[in-house]
Amino acid sequence: MSRAARAVSIDELRILARRRLPRLAFDYIDGGAEDEVALAGNRAAFDSLRLVPRAGVDVSRRDLSAEIFGRRWAMPFGIAPTGLSDVAGHGTDLAIARAAAAAGIPYILSTVATTDIETIARAIPGGFWFQLYMPAKREVGHDLVRRAKDAGAGALFVTLDVPAPGKRERDIRNAFALPFRLTPRVLLDIASRPAWALGMARRGAPRFASLAPYAPPGSTAHTLAAFMASQITADLVWEEIARLRDLFPGPILAKGVSAPEDVDRAARLGLDGVVLSNHGGRQLGLAAAPIALLPEAVQAAAGRLAVTLDGGVRRGAHIAAAVALGARFVFAGRPTLYGAAAGGAAGAERAIAILRDEFDRTLALLGAPSVADLSPAMVRT
Ligand SMILES: Cc1cc2nc3c(=O)[nH]c(=O)nc-3n(C[C@H](O)[C@H](O)[C@H](O)COP(=O)(O)O)c2cc1C
């Protein structure tokens, strides 16, 4: 059994991932914006919570399952969308998607994933959810939504927190770009991780698979990357998201929401949910931690839409705390990336198994035999 398959915590998978990846790949996954205050704050906000268990409850039989949008999942936890995941190693998107499906939890595919919509749909016939970056060329965005719908996407997550790229200084220092810019420093970095380098040499650098059809004909990896950079959208507003109803029949959620006023706005526009998120601390350097904003968001939602959350979830107890404070579902991006980087498919499975096991223990220790028994009274903020 590999080290990754025996890891006892997400933090251990992170350390193993750092050993396996060249610096530019690890930093792309691990890093945050500017001084990484939001990145560290997401985790610190969870770790500053204290739980108050109920004693003397029969927890011998526990039900971890949770329902959202008419479907019951193995637990109230799913995989947040991550772009360029195959930088962690070829097959990362597929390994994570399959691990999620096998564990009975939802997987959200990114617009800028390195595996295309149709391939993911075929790999996990039980269904996937799709995350949309609305491109500057709106017809491309609409076609992506059509493809996601045709491929059976069960929900659409429209990301709102990238009107400009975050200033991720590790990536700037490492000259991180796709295709890789082979400066002497990058070559040295890559040469220090021969297994990773060999994989990339054999299969070629990962690319934006779902977007390839829209790039100018005859595009090289370079022109595709330039096309992508030109597609960042700074003018996406709420009304336009609401209009996506005409194209997508399933639940639509706004991802990257912080302010309670915006939760109310989403509800008034009839959206089905929000993901409280600061993009894992990768965008606004001083962004508030989603878990700290959750109680206000739940109040603003007033039961009209599903409030979900991501950012800094590294423990099953974090999932339990968020659900206790009113999150319908909780997501995480980096844990399964660390797992896959550390040990491929087995590592991705391990990351989910660790969080599931910890969530199960936390329910028992909290005196909550089921997800419905988690309550705000169990959390001191
Ligand atoms: C490497 C990486 C790539 C990401 N790419 C996307 C993306 O393509 N679309 C998106 O909406 N969010 C993206 N995110 C943000 C995640 O969906 C999620 O909000 C974040 O990872 C949650 O924080 P966590 O990593 O602490 O769990 C990315 C995050 C990481 C770490």
- CB of 340 shorter than 6 A to ligand 1: no
Q: Using the 8-state DSSP alphabet, how is residue 63 labeled?
A: B
Q: Whose CA is nearest to atom 30 of ligand 1?
A: 82
Mean pLDDT of the chain: 95
Tell me the pLDDT tens digit for each residue of 315-325: 999 999 999 99
Confidence tier at 1 by pLDDT (50, 70, 90) = confident
Residue 271 near residue 241, CB atoms below 8 Å:
yes
Residue 369 near residue 57, CB atoms below 8 Å:
yes
Token pair for 140: 């491309």
Between CA 37 and CA 287 the distance in angstroms is 8
Mean pLDDT of 118-135: 96
**Percentage, residues of the chain above pLDDT 90:** 88
Tell me the pLDDT tens digit for each residue of 155-168: 999 999 999 999 99
- CB of 39 shorter than 6 A to ligand 1: no
- CB of 315 shorter than 6 A to ligand 1: no
Helix (H) or strand (E) holding 184: helix 184-191
Q: Whose CA is nearest to atom 4 of ligand 1?
A: 82
Confidence tier at 170 by pLDDT (50, 70, 90) = very high
- CB of 159 shorter than 6 A to ligand 1: yes
CA distances from 156 to 69, 233, 251, 292, 315 (A): 12, 18, 6, 25, 26
Distance 332 CA to ligand 1 centre (A): 8
Pick from 207, 213, 110, 94: nearest CA to 156: 110
**Whether 90 is catalytic:** no
Confidence tier at 180 by pLDDT (50, 70, 90) = confident
- CB of 78 shorter than 6 A to ligand 1: no
Between CA 52 and CA 81 the distance in angstroms is 32
Strands 252-257 and 273-276: parallel
Between CA 108 and CA 141 the distance in angstroms is 17
Neighbours of 204 (CB within 10 A): 10
**Percentage, residues of the chain above pLDDT 70:** 100
Residue 365 near residue 320, CB atoms below 8 Å:
no
Tell me the pLDDT tens digit for each residue of 251-296: 999 999 999 999 999 999 999 999 999 999 999 999 999 999 999 9
DSSP string spanning 292-327?
HHHHHHHHHHTTSSEEEEESS--SHHHHHHHHHTT-
pLDDT at 197 over 80: yes
- CB of 276 shorter than 6 A to ligand 1: no
Q: Contacts from 227-231 at CB under 8 Å and sequence distance 24+?
A: 228/112, 230/136, 231/133, 231/135, 231/136, 231/137, 231/140
Q: Which residue has the higher pLDDT, 107 or 217?
A: 107
Distance 82 CA to ligand 1 centre (A): 5
Confidence tier at 109 by pLDDT (50, 70, 90) = very high
Among 279, 310, 313, 318, say which to mutate for ligand 1: greatest number of ligand atoms within 8 Å of CB: 279
Structurally, at CATH architecture level, domain 3-380 sits in Alpha-Beta Barrel (3.20)
**Which among 90, 142, 222, 279 is annotated as catalytic?**
279
Nearest ligand 1 atom, CA 42 = 26
- CB of 112 shorter than 6 A to ligand 1: yes
Pick from 75, 26, 110, 47: nearest CA to 352: 75
Between CA 100 and CA 128 the distance in angstroms is 10
Distance 76 CA to ligand 1 centre (A): 18
Distance 59 CA to ligand 1 centre (A): 34
Burial 263-276 (b: 16+ CB within 10 A, else e): bbbbbebebbbbbb
- CB of 280 shorter than 6 A to ligand 1: yes
Among 13, 27, 82, 310, say which to mutate for ligand 1: greatest number of ligand atoms within 8 Å of CB: 82
